Amino acid sequence: MPGSAWWRAVAVAAVGVAVASCSGEGRRASAGTPTELRLAIGGESEEGYDPTLGWGRYGSPLFQSTLLTRDADLQVVNDLATRHEVSPDGLVWTVDIRTDAKFTDGEPVTARDVAYTFTAAAKSGGSTDVTVLREAVAVDDDTVELRLTKPQSTFVNRLVSLGIVPEHAHGPDYARKPVGSGPFVFEQWDEGQQLIVRRNDAYYGAKPAFERVVFVFTGEDASLAAARSGQVDVAALPPSLATGELPGLRLTRVESVDNRGIAFPFEPDEGRRTAEGRPIGNDVTSDRAVRRAVNVALDRQALVDGVLNGYGRPATGPVDGLPWNEPAAAITDKDPEGAKRALEAAGWVDADGDGVRERGGTEAEFPLLYPAGDSVRQGLALAVADMLKPIGIAVTPKGESWDVIRTRMHADPVLFGWGSHDATEMFNLYSSAQAGVELWNPALYRNAVVDGELDAAMAAVDPGRAGEHWKAAQRQFGPGADAAWAWLVNLDHVYYADACLDLGRLQVEPHGHGWPITQGIAGWKWTC
Amino acid sequence: MLTAGSAARPVVAAVVARTARLVLLLTAVAVASFVLMVNSPVDPVAAYVGADVASLGPAQRALIAQRWGLDDPAHERFLSWFGNLLGGDFGFSLTFNRPVLEVIGDKFLASLALMALAWLLSGVLGFGLGLVAGVRRGWFADRAITWLSYALASAPTFWVGLLLLYVFAVSLNWAPVCCAVPIGVPADEVGLGDRLAHLALPAITLSVVGIAPVVLHTRQAVVDALASDHVAFARAQGERGVGLVLHRVVRNAAAPALLLQFGSLGELFGGSVLAEQVFSYPGLGAATTTAALGQDVPLLLGIALFTTVLVFAGNLVGDRVHALLDPRSRLVDLRGTR
């Protein structure tokens, strides 16, 4: 008896495999331009598709539309909004919205829905931060006022990222049955497997070229397998798996601001501790000459080639490639001789001949912490140690847990990764007001000029003025001046895409690989 | 009447004792899991927000902590969860944004098919191979099967999964690379064949976990049975070959295999965590990973309790079936629970 059950199971499974292998070849075998697009780029939102809980905070929210959006150059342009204006005191954002937008249930999108969305997001306790909002009020059908508790020029990023939900249909089951005014309509979500969306033919903007888009939520290995066997058109892969060409697929590298850099403790070691008991200060990195010498001596292109296998570009600062980046803050690196001269001039000499410089009894040595298990950061830390040895600085790379890193980050240099389309991040990393808050400004960097510029940038009403202040701050904290951090590299995000698929011009992507590529999905098209 | 009453009393006592044991076990599992979760070094808010934690301010962090109830002392959180549980409320999963029972129900249905198929495969295949190895002890078949068992026992599940994935899904293109349903097909167009096709590779991968112990134990039991007096007697009477094995050995040798199979539900579940991960199969195993990485305490506790009941029930059924198969064990059982 057990024997026959087993044979039955095998037979059934074998038949099943045969059936699947026939049906699996459907799309590519059929003639003509496919109307369906399949993506394996991860990014499943397990808690559903509710923007007030954080859905779509980068990339396209698909089902919902946002007030503003960023074009391929990351410039802010209108989407649902027709105009937005900030009051002279920076506290009130007035937004006019278009009147022809409809939710997919047929109801028009009104200012009340916008006000409702912002209010709900501010209270929800999800992963989008709208806590600066005091209240959102619909002034009339197509005008909404967003009133803030303090001026914040970077609030524009909430207008860019927060998808508008319908007040009348936003209940407990909304996250699993999203209704919005975006380019796509929710069709089916097999949790843990795939999300199927359909084109919204009533969408007010440029309509996508695909009738359906399927997002497959596979792991990295299965994504590669799916791409190889032609079951998906785009797959996001870690560079380690992106080896060689695959038939019919094009290796697409997208530049990102997904950066890696070293935070140097800014204070000298005077035995002080934070309120939590974390030690503060480092007698080596608190010397500006050391920080500058490290910045100058590193060969960042070699880091890109050696550690990232070429999938990246050297980093000149924390916001490479973003509109508010200051190119003038960059320096020429790969100059160990210059670094040595600077160290000598600052009094760091190797008197005892052990290969490590010292000054006043302090050896030029420090550990470099990185999260254990992150192979890219480990590789970078080891390469940095090798590059600094010839100039007489001894670096000991150490993989640690985030717990240890949090405790040590005010006293030991740490290899961090950042990168955001929201300039608030630069404020958080360099403002003394954020010193030791969360993981921000871990080095406890403090410069009154930088603080002034950052505060002015946050308070600026005009985006152009804000940009000038952001740039001025970079000239001050950048490697040529305070050299508060040593930024090393920006990663490239790697995708395999069907050779017939035109992804258009892609944005510089933020920290986080995969979903950001969907930002321009409505403009993608088949070319053959 | 008299005999029926006296037979029923030990049964009732046994049921009460088992139930009490289960309740004790569940409480212990709940407390232990909760203590582990609360003391885990993972920051629940950071785990929930993921890569975006960098752009999250202290105010938003406080809002999230408040929504999750992270501010309350640990024992209060546990007691309120436990209180709700007694009222039948398993709580709300924050990573999946829906009630825990719904999540478990959904995911378990997917896992059930996978685990049942894998369980049958490993049991039947393991028993069959063990039987052959035992009967042909010392011959080539025995050595090959024993070698295979050691190889399978030392092969990590995820590695076997990846291997199968590359051979059958990528190179040969026979099987789908992921999921429980075909990519891009509406739910109402998915047939039974599709589902089975997507089940095949994960089930084979998962069955690898259980085959080796069954083979090796069965082999030993067969060897013992063949050396026993009743087989010697049967041989003396002229019984030979398949008939001898089927009539005199199988029943004796089945006991360890059965007990192992029913006792291995825990390992099966552990293996499904890995197998489901490799094949993006949306079952309870994958949900466990998500819950653990996201520090979703209610869901993880719910899954822990659920699996405890499952494993407990498996062992119980194993004992019963064993007793049916081997009446001698019933005596031990009754004495043990008196």
Q: Which residues touch B70 (CB under 8 Å, ≥6 apart)?
A: B44, B45, B64
A247, A297, B201, B250 from B114: Cα distances, Å: 33, 56, 10, 28
pLDDT bracket for residue A366 (50, 70, 90): very high
pLDDT bracket for residue A2 (50, 70, 90): very low
Dig out the tokens for A278 from the structure: 């974390």
Residue A508: name the closest of A298, A324, A309 by CA: A324
In angstroms, the first-to-last Cα distance of chain B is 22
Nearest neighbour of A225 by CB, restricted to B50, B166, B194: B166
Q: What percent of chain B has pLDDT over 90?
A: 1
Across chain A, mean pLDDT equals: 88
Check CB contact of B52 with chain A, cutoff 8 Å.
yes
- Name residue A400's beta-bridge partners: A371
Interface size A-B, in CB pairs within 8 Å, comes to 213
Least confident of A111-125, B104-118, B321-335: B321-335
Query: Is A217 within 8 Å of A192 (Cβ atoms)?
Result: yes
Q: Say what the pLDDT of residue B50 is.
A: 67
- Name residue A396's beta-bridge partners: A367
Kindly determine whether residue A437 and residue B58, on different chains, have CB atoms separated by under 8 Å: yes
A7, A25, A34, A226, A528 from A31: Cα distances, Å: 39, 12, 8, 21, 11
3-state secondary structure A168-224: HHCCCCHHHCCCCCCCEEEEEEECCCEEEEEECCCCCCCCCCCCEEEEECCCHHHHH
Q: What share of chain B is helix, strand, coil (3-state, %, to 5)?
A: 80, 0, 20
Which chain B residues touch A402 with a CB distance below 8 Å?
Answer: 41, 43, 46
| Residue A504: half-sphere exposure toward Cβ, Cα within 13 Å | 17
Check CB contact of B58 with chain A, cutoff 8 Å.
yes
pLDDT bracket for residue B180 (50, 70, 90): confident
- In the predicted model, is pLDDT for residue A284 greater than 80? yes
Taking residues A148-154, what's their average pLDDT?
92
Q: Which helix (H) or strand (E) holds B110?
A: helix B100-135
Taking residues B229-238, what's their average pLDDT?
83
Which chain A residues touch B46 with a CB distance below 8 Å?
Answer: 402
- In the predicted model, is pLDDT for residue A247 greater than 60? yes
Cα gap A179→A171, rounded to integer Å? 11
Q: Which helix (H) or strand (E) holds A456?
A: helix A448-459
Dig out the tokens for A207 from the structure: 């309509």
Least confident of B117-121, B155-159, B315-319, B329-333: B329-333
Q: Say what the pLDDT of residue A323 is.
A: 92
Say what the pTM is.
0.81
Which chain A residues touch B184 with a CB distance below 8 Å?
Answer: 36, 38, 194, 196, 212, 214
- In the predicted model, is pLDDT for residue A89 greater than 60? yes
Nearest neighbour of A191 by CB, restricted to B194, B200, B282: B282
Q: Say what the pLDDT of residue B334 is.
A: 54
pLDDT tens string A23-53: 333 344 344 567 889 999 888 888 889 999 8
- In the predicted model, is pLDDT for residue B5 greater than 70? no
pLDDT tens string A391-435: 999 999 999 988 889 899 999 999 999 988 889 899 999 999 999
Taking residues A506-526, what's their average pLDDT?
82
Kindly indicate whether the ipTM for this predicted assembly is greater than 0.85, answering yes or no. no
Domains of chain A: 64-168 (3.40.190.10), 256-490 (3.10.105.10)
Residue from B97, B218, B293 whose CB has the most chain A CBs within 10 Å, to mutate = B97
Residue from A21, A161, A170, A233 whose CB has the most chain B CBs within 10 Å, to mutate = A21
Higher-pLDDT residue of A283 and B242 is A283
Smallest Cα distance from B16 to chain A, Å = 33
Taking residues A201-212, what's their average pLDDT?
90
Q: Say what the pLDDT of residue B96 is.
A: 85
pLDDT tens string B279-299: 888 888 888 888 887 788 888
Q: Considering only residues 112 to 171 of chain B, which have any Cβ-Cβ distance to chain A shorter than 8 Å? A: 117, 120-121, 123-125, 127-128, 162, 165-166, 168-170
Smallest Cα distance from A111 to chain B, Å = 25
Residue showing tokens 């998500």: B290
Check CB contact of A211 with chain B, cutoff 8 Å.
no
